[in-house]
């Protein structure tokens, strides 16, 4: 089974993907974690690295190609990333997690240990806009078009455990068919 999990920054995709991977014994490949690691290797924060990626499209393309390669040779896998749903055409289940800007900003602020909410919101919006323009330019993908997803869930309304139960029903039905 191949599952993709996508959502905007701070929507909880990584936490949710880890939960599902642990619950079902799936391998997890996270584009966001790869992106963060690449930024850290260069001593850049995510906004700075996003600007670099806008200038050097090979950064995004290498992450996206790697996910495709892994998905083609793997079963029982979760691919977590903003564009995973678009790049894994034979995914059994495509999930989008949503949450309001204020919720996502608070999560990012807490995760990244940022003191100033205004700065956190500015950085989050800058990152989102930078990513959206890159996705459109590189792939003609409108990140706000959710029509490809099988399930769109609110990670603001439901916690990881609840989301896991909802998706568990979908996984069960897919395996039965």
All structural domains of the chain = 2-176 (3.40.50.300)
Whether the Cβ atoms of residue 149 and residue 94 lie closer than 8 Å to each other: yes
Residue with the bigger pLDDT between 111 and 24: it is 24
pLDDT in tens, 54-96: 788 888 787 777 777 777 777 899 999 988 999 888 899 999 9
Mean pLDDT, rounded, for 133-144 = 92
Whether the Cβ atoms of residue 19 and residue 160 lie closer than 8 Å to each other: yes
Whole-structure pTM value: 0.85
The contacts of residue 4 (CB under 8 Å, 6+ apart) are 78, 79, 80, 81, 84, 85, 88, 91, 93, 94, 95
């Amino acid at each position: 089974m191949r599952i993709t999990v996508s959502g905007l920054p701070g929507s909880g995709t990584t936490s949710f993907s880890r939960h599902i991977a642990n619950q079902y014994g799936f391998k997890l490949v996270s584009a966001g974690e790869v992106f963060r690691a690449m930024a850290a290797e260069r001593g850049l924060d995510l906004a700075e690295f996003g600007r670099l990626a806008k200038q050097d499209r090979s950064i995004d393309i290498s992450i996206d190609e790697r996910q495709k390669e892994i998905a083609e040779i793997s079963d029982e896998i979760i691919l977590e990333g903003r564009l995973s749903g678009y790049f894994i055409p034979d995914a059994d289940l495509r999930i989008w997690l949503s949450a309001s800007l204020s919720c996502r900003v608070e999560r990012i602020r807490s995760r990244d240990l940022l003191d100033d909410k205004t700065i956190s919101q500015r950085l989050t919006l800058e990152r989102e806009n930078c990513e959206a323009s890159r996705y459109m330019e590189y792939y003609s993908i409108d990140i706000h078009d959710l029509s490809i997803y099988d399930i769109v869930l609110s990670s603001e309304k439901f916690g990881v455990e609840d989301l896991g139960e909802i998706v568990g029903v979908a996984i069960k039905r897919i395996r039965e068919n």
